Amino acid sequence: MTFHTLDELIADGVLGRHVLVRSDLNVPLDGFTVTDDGRIRASIPVVQKLADAGARVIVMAHLGRPQGEPDPQYSISPAATRLAELSGLDVRTASDVTGPSAVALAAELTDGAVLILENVRFDARETSKDDAERAAFAAELAALTGQNGAYVNDAFGAVHRKHASVFDIAALLPAYQGDLVATEMRVLKTLTEAPKRPYVVVLGGSKVSDKLAVIDNLLGRADHLLIGGGMAFTFLKAQGHEVGGSLLEVDQLETCRGYLKRAKELGCDIVLPTDVVVASKFGADAEHEVRTASDIEGGSFGATGLGLDIGPDSGEKFASYIRSANTVFWNGPMGVFEIPAFAEGTRAVAGALAESEAFSVVGGGDSAAAVRTLGFHDDEFGHISTGGGASLEYLEGKELPGLTALEARK
């Protein structure tokens, strides 16, 4: 795929021009406080680059999942405030998306200034399945740029969505690939086209069903596939182990058996936990103990015990695979990392990755939140993706609408 780049746009001249930038400001909040500003930090370089070149930058982004109408708890304001604090740019925030506030502030923008529109998902047309509705909303967004506008997609975390601000807008304005998207693409191509071996993939998170396609695609590419998190229990059950009250997707048991069989045929080693931290209930005050994966129900909590993390032996085993790898991709925590008692498996994986000299990619979403929550720094890893779902869909081999829309522009 070939794209027009941000450097091309700047070389053509952006002084005095309105440039509409799709950024990823979808950050976690505690009330109105940003708890992980990783995506905001990753979005700043492109906004800064355009502002420094004299563009009048209009940033559009989403936050959370509002139901197509304004909802104060999903306002973009906390993210906009944090972007202004981190960048030092002249930033204003509209109180609507394409309404009177956005129109007036866009018209008043001066060279090098930045306007952040309210959450684009406050307008139901952003995510509509109706092409005409999305196109109408995209036209309103494009109109904010006046007669000589341009569009830059720098939101890798949204390129797998066929949304107005990601897909339809690229047909209305000269469209360019942002530097963050270019970096993400370069990294993911390394994982899919020519990974240096041994290639280890670590998958976690709650459900096997969320990772079916990526497992299917990676079985023939990875040397070792390490599986933790809630999804591990469906694999353990598929092997014949009882898993107590742990998360289990009964409808995926046959699929997991098929993966275990196919992995052997393809020479890919699927590695499952050998021990598990089992708890009496889900909560920070839960009693817990370590059980072998083959005897989860044999402890204090019997058949009601919940597996909430991989155990210490599993953590060390996973770490040893990571330390011996030359390429590692990790997506999904090993347990309920938000609760300290169930965070050690995730910490073991993160620590091994931080120490490794391998080309390492942390696949965004909960994995990125986990490493920061546990006290690791971004520069301890080869690359922390800003796009959890987008990263997975790329590795699945799916077509990403936000990228195809950019490629279509000549």
Is 17 marked as a binding-site residue? Answer: no
On average, the pLDDT of the chain sits at 95
From 17, 22, 39, 134, active-site residue:
39
Residue 213's pLDDT band, with cuts at 50, 70 and 90, is confident
Helix (H, G, I), strand (E, B) or coil at 185: helix
And the tokens for 313? 């032996």
Give, in order, the Cα–Cα distances in Å from 75 to each of 64, 224, 365. Answer: 9, 42, 20
Of 82, 207, 257, 262, the catalytic one is 207
The set of residues, in sequence order, having a beta carbon less than 8 Å from that of 72 and lying 6+ positions away, is: none
φ/ψ (deg, to 5) at 242: -85, 140
For the residues 238-251, what does the mean pLDDT come to? 96
6-183 and 194-396 agree in CATH topology:
yes
pLDDT at 410 over 50: no
280 carries a ligand binding annotation: no
Cβ-contact 184, 386 below 8 angstroms: yes
CATH number for the domain running over 6-183: 3.40.50.1260
Residue 324 annotated as binding?
no
- 3-class state of residue 219 by DSSP: coil
The set of residues, in sequence order, having a beta carbon less than 8 Å from that of 7 and lying 6+ positions away, is: none
Check 38, 204, 365, 402 and give the catalytic one.
365
What is residue 407's predicted lDDT score, i.e. its pLDDT?
Answer: 87
- Answer for the pair 327, 313: CB distance below 8 angstroms, yes or no: no
Query: Three-state DSSP class for 131?
Result: helix
> Does residue 357 have a known ligand-binding role?
no
Predicted confidence band of residue 408 (pLDDT cuts 50, 70, 90): low
Residue among 41, 389, 398, 409 flagged as catalytic? 389
Q: Is position 365 annotated in a ligand binding site?
A: yes
Is residue 307 marked as binding?
Answer: yes
Answer yes or no: are the C-beta atoms of 39 and 157 closer than 8 Å: yes
pTM exceeds 0.95 for this model: no
Q: What is the mean predicted confidence (pLDDT) over 351-359?
A: 95
Question: Is position 365 annotated as part of the catalytic site?
Answer: yes
Catalytic (active site) residue 389: yes
Q: How many CB atoms lie within 10 A of CB 174?
A: 17
- Homologous superfamily of 194-396: Phosphoglycerate kinase, N-terminal domain (3.40.50.1260)
Mean per-residue pLDDT for 260-265? 94
Residue 172 clears pLDDT 90, i.e. is over it: yes
User: Is the pLDDT reported for residue 376 higher than 80?
Assistant: yes
Domain ranges of the chain: 6-183, 194-396
For position 206, what pLDDT does the model report?
Answer: 87
16 assigned binding-site residue: no
Q: Is 121 annotated as ligand-binding?
A: yes
270 pLDDT more than 60: yes
- pLDDT at 145 exceeding the cut of 70: yes
> What's the pLDDT at 76?
98
Q: Retrieve residue 70's tokens.
A: 């304004």
Residue 227: which residues within 8 A CB-CB, separation 6 or more? 203, 204, 235, 270, 271, 272, 273
pLDDT score for 365: 75
